[in-house]
Structure 1
Amino acid sequence: MRVVGFHIDNFDNHLYPDLPQNRLIPEFEIKEYCDINNHNIVSWFKIKSPYSDSDIYDNFRKLISKFSEPDAKLALVLIPDSFHLANDIETLARRVIRIRSLGADIRCTNQEYPDPFQNALKYLSFYNGKNFSNSKSSKEIIKKAYRGEVLGKIPYGYKSHNGRLVIDCKESKIVKMIFKWYSESSYGLRVISKLLNQKGNRTRRGKVWTPLTIRSIITNRSYIGTYSRYGIRITSNHDPIINIDLFNRVNSLLNSKNTSKKKYYKSTFLLSRKIICETCGNTLSGITRKRTWQLQNNEYKSKIYRYYRCKSRFENVTENSKFHSLFNADIVEKKVKKIICNWDDNFISNLSPVSIKSYAKEIQDAYSDFAKTFQNYAMSKENISHLEKTLKRLSEIRENKNVYIDEPNRKIYDQIFSPDIQESKISINQIISKIFIQNNKINVIPYL
């Protein structure tokens, strides 16, 4: 495997007294790791000073630039520990996610904490200075990990018995089926998830299978009997569902299909959580769908469609799911703005926009949510998408810091029609309480 080394060059052990004293200097440790695992080092990124945040950032930026080149060959990024990549947990999370979004991966050479997220909980701090590894609960969790006991989310296909993982006969059949389909047919993640759903199979939580859940199955080493928690890896810890040869074959095939990353279209939905489903009363969320078709001249054409959809259309799917709301987002947003545009001055003056939290309170709440989600993700209790959402929320609050002030009704109202989509969304959230759509008639309910 190709490897890129990334580390602080002139490292000062006194900065991190919890580090084992028998650790090699960073460069030698990375080289030794590669020798043991038959990896090939293709380049180095060395930070001159452990005290320079800008030096770490400059090297990280160069690394991302290298991986983003049109003909870039991806590699495994090796760091001795999390603090070689970032000085705090939030920055570490953003950088690891960025590296993985490009199709590369990152790992620590620290034998006790090879996972960068778990490593960060050991050596880095959140903004309030709290370090998870020093807490009482953390020490108890790590003791259980050394014994190979069940911690966090139990992998699909297994169940807990006296604190140990044992095979669930019913679920394990589906796990075997997934590996068989992926290795012996031309089925991809999307086709496999569709086949499982058509057969009436559901995830443990009763939800439909998705390409993401299929991917999480075929990349999970728990199915070959390996236990991994908090940097502790125990092979043959429990009975395997899949043999190691099949696991390696499937993951080799998966990696060969992921050489190029698709670019996904992102869109801001002005009315998310405002429109009410006429069937169940849930609020609607925005989704995008890309449609591609072939023209008579054999050329392909594609278009992005935006919708507001009730989650009941795809969660716990039944015959009645189709009756839950689904609307074209572009049409609805245009009509809602037209309705708001017709409000007169007297009506606008009587609006009661919801008060926005102070910036300090908003950022504090968002960061607390991030910190909790980060810890849960490191313990395999959360999905990476949840962590990404908390980071996105932090960014949005910081980018819109100037809106955390009291403003007159007219100004908030006028901002709804701003070309700045984020500014428009903030004002809509302040003024609009609910939106009902029935028989193509839209009823906008403001805060009064």
Structure 2
Amino acid sequence: MRAVGYFRETGSGQPLAEQSRAFLDFCHQNGYEAAATFLDGAAAAGDYTGYRQLIEFLKGRPDRGFTVVAVSSLGCLGSDLRETARRYFQLASLGVKVMCLEDGADPGSSLLSLWTESKDERLGQKVQAAMRRKAVKGEVLGRPPFGYQVGPRRRLEVVPEEAAVVRYIFRLYLRDGLGIRLIARRLNEEGVRTHRKGLWSMVTVRDILRNRTYLGTYSRFGVRVPASHPALISNDDFRRVQERLNSRRQEKAERQTSLFLLSGLAYCGYCGNKMIGVSRRQHWRRRDGSEKWAEYRYYQCESRTNRSLCDYHTRRAGQLEQEVREALLREEPLAVVVTVPKAGDDAAVLKEAEDRCRRLRGRLRRLDKRLEEHMDAAARGRLSDQRMRSLGVAVAAEGLSLEDSLAEAERFVKQQVTAAERQQQKEQALARLRHDWDHLAPPEQQALLGELLERVVVWDDNIRIMLRL
């Protein structure tokens, strides 16, 4: 068993030299092989180079499942409790065991206790109790669902015009047999609008069909109040709708999904919206009684798919992907209908890289918030310790990946890659596209196209591609 030490100079704790000596004594007493020590001084000011080196060291070890990371205390991992929790779960996500030098215990066992103590639960409990009291009375909390409005006594009251639309949606789905997409299309064609006067989509229609409020039952904060307001849909109709929705979900889950290589890159040339990959299966019976299945994969304008806007513009997936690849590899100048402009000059490329850094930092902040929510839920007893650890490890693993992407993006910004360097990167990517394409797995093919392409604008009979490099 190997041990790795990580120590940080906090100003009020032991000097780094003493922590290092304590680590060697710890290894000697427990029979561990001291593999390495990583240090962050008090002057690091949030840089924490030693911790990043520790992470890279662990990633490069195939035997990290047999590695212990020793720290002087839980506080050594971060300057505050949120950072400490993030780093503890990052180490756990790499499969290593974290131990404290003082008692040889896993400091994670005390992490939740410290988190609970740091939160003022009394205020939150009072707010929750007040919300539950309102919910028990059937008083509306938040925005009312489509078909209702908030009355003078904070109860749901029927809006006749909207209620008619709700019943219409259920009838179209249950009795007329229309799918969710066709219902959205029908509503938009008839000029019906949502709560916010917007267009209907598959999501908004599905939310209507799933909402139990239309049974006359109000549910909030774990409180259910039957018959708190007038029902719009009968129990029998609602049950039959759920059965059909669930059966459709199971059918989709059983299908093997295929990767669409141009996902996120293809845009409709007519309305400018994204094109999404769609799979359709057909089943028919031959004259001899045998059955035959066929699957069709194509790209279709998202406006058409979700809202039934735009015209019916589709391209077969395999043909479009091959056409894009051939356009990238074409040696002679491209035809007029297939042009390859630069995504931008050096300044534009640098701005895009800086924007990417900002987006990645935003995603990391949201991950911190998610981890904090999981910790809060565990502190309130809503999550078991095991479930909390599982969720924390998952969030931390995603965070490590994002931190790597952010570090790479920041290096790109600092280097201010020149046009010549971009040209070299482009040539290397094109060489892989030309020589290695058939040997790449679909996710690798998709990543390679994403490395080369900024976007692909698609019309019925031609395309226009923009290079990222």
From the two aligned structures, give the one with the greater helix fraction: 2
Highest CA radius of gyration, 1 or 2? 2
What TM-score do you get using the length of structure 1 for normalisation? Answer: 0.50
